[in-house]
Amino acid sequence: SKKPVRVAVTGAAGQIGYALLFRIASGEMLGKDQPVILQLLEVPAEGPQKALKGVMMELEDCAFPLLVGMEAHGDPMTAFKDADYALLVGSRPRGPGMERAELLAINGAIFTAQGKALNAVASRDVKVLVVGNPANTNAYIAMKAAPDLKPGNFTAMLRLDHNRAASQIAAKTGKAVADIEKLCVWGNHSPTMYADYRFATIKGESVKAMINDQEWNANVFLPTVGKRGAAIIEARGLSSAASAANAAIDHMRDWALGTNGKWVTMGIPSQGWYGIPKDVMFGFPVTCENGEYKVVEGLEIDAFSQACIDKTLKELTDEQAGVAHLI
């Protein structure tokens, strides 16, 4: 049987953690033949640590055959030891009335410390996914704090936006979500993201031609996908958790096990693709194979798309400038 891999998860006692850990332990993320050791990080305070113990009791009670080890941590320096995968879920999202500078300062401290810890103790091939918001900028901070690791192994989660876009397109066209290919989301995980179906196909047919409605694209589709997180908070009284956990599973599974040629969206540090400056943590269309992602290059960017990409890029470079003093 396969050697177990170490999966570190932060914010493990939170909402997303509760929807995520059981699926990792059941083999949905890394395959039904891959044993896992969970290394769970929570803030060291008594309340969250106690809640984490409760989640671990439930994980035990599932008797998952693939869960061969499990640890609770209050310090990233121990939680990330030899980690092969790290899902950074815990962060401080923007609260009501919180100033941008305050948000960036709090998360700057968290993701600098976690990047340093990964740099010091994780596997040299650790694959990192940042879910905690602002996800792209948090991933950028962690990457910059980890100079000995491969920058390209730091990624941010755009997959929830991608999946939201796919399901809106399936509803609009009346087709099966499973048949949608070549969809992508450019930019920041924020309402400025640009979900792009110009290249998308369903059973070989063009989605753009099928929909043939730029007014719907600009005024219904993009705002619906962009504001979906807020709509869920409004409806549920809590932010999206199960769908976020599902997207994290999809992101890591595809990265680790491959996409078979299918396009997916990952937030990754740019190497200058499509004019996005180097190191900007940006959503791009990728395919994955043998544990590596590859950007889909050479796509035509029309004027509407360029304006959308410029807007989300501007937001990201502003966020990046706001944390420049931490780098």
Residues at the site binding ligand NAI, with contacts judged by CB under 6 A: 10-11, 13-17, 41-43, 48, 89-91, 93, 110, 131-133, 135, 157, 160, 189, 239-241, 244
242-246: which pairs have CB atoms within 8 A and are 24 or more residues apart? Answer: 242/19, 243/160, 243/163, 243/164, 244/16, 244/19, 244/131, 244/157, 244/160, 245/16, 245/17, 245/19, 245/20, 245/23, 246/19, 246/23, 246/160, 246/163
Nearer to ligand NAI, 93 or 147 (CB): 93
Reduced to 3 states (helix: H, G, I; strand: E, B; else coil), residue 147 is coil
Nearer to ligand NAI, 10 or 173 (CB): 10
How far apart are the C-alpha atoms of 106 and 81, rounded to whole Å?
Answer: 24
Smallest distance from ligand NAI to CB 110, Å: 4
Nearer to ligand NAI, 108 or 132 (CB): 132
How far apart are the C-alpha atoms of 285 and 221, rounded to whole Å?
Answer: 19
Nearer to ligand NAI, 173 or 246 (CB): 246
Instruction: List residues with catalytic annotation.
Output: 189
Question: Within 10 Å of residue 325's Cβ, how many Cβ atoms?
Answer: 9
User: Crossing angle for the helix pair 135-144 and 303-322, nearest 10 degrees?
Assistant: 60
Smallest distance from ligand NAI to CB 155, Å: 11
- Strand pairing category for 85-88 and 127-130: parallel
Q: Is 24 annotated as a binding residue?
A: no
Smallest distance from ligand NAI to CB 94, Å: 8
Q: Is 132 annotated as a binding residue?
A: yes
Q: Is 164 annotated as a binding residue?
A: yes
Q: Is 138 annotated as a binding residue?
A: no
Q: Is 12 annotated as a binding residue?
A: yes
Smallest distance from ligand NAI to CB 98, Å: 12
Nearer to ligand NAI, 43 or 120 (CB): 43
List C-alpha distances in Å: 96 to 4, 111, 136, 229, 257: 42, 22, 21, 15, 39
Q: Is 225 annotated as a binding residue?
A: no
Nearer to ligand NAI, 43 or 177 (CB): 43
Dihedral, 115, 35, 59, 251 alpha carbons, nearest 10: 50
Question: Within 10 Å of residue 30's Cβ, how many Cβ atoms?
Answer: 21
Q: Is 17 annotated as a binding residue?
A: yes
How far apart are the C-alpha atoms of 103 and 113, rounded to whole Å?
Answer: 16
Question: Within 10 Å of residue 220's Cβ, how many Cβ atoms?
Answer: 13
Q: Is 97 annotated as a binding residue?
A: no
Instruction: Provide the b/e sequence for 225-246 (b: ≥16 CB within 10 Å).
Output: bbebbeebeeeeeeebbebbbb
Asked, as a colleague might, if the bond just before 48 is cis with ω within 30 of 0, I would say: no
Extract the annotated binding site for NAD(+). Answer: 11-17, 107, 114, 131-133
Cite the annotated binding site for substrate by residue number: 94, 100, 133, 164
Residue positions forming the annotated binding site: 11-17, 94, 100, 107, 114, 131-133, 164
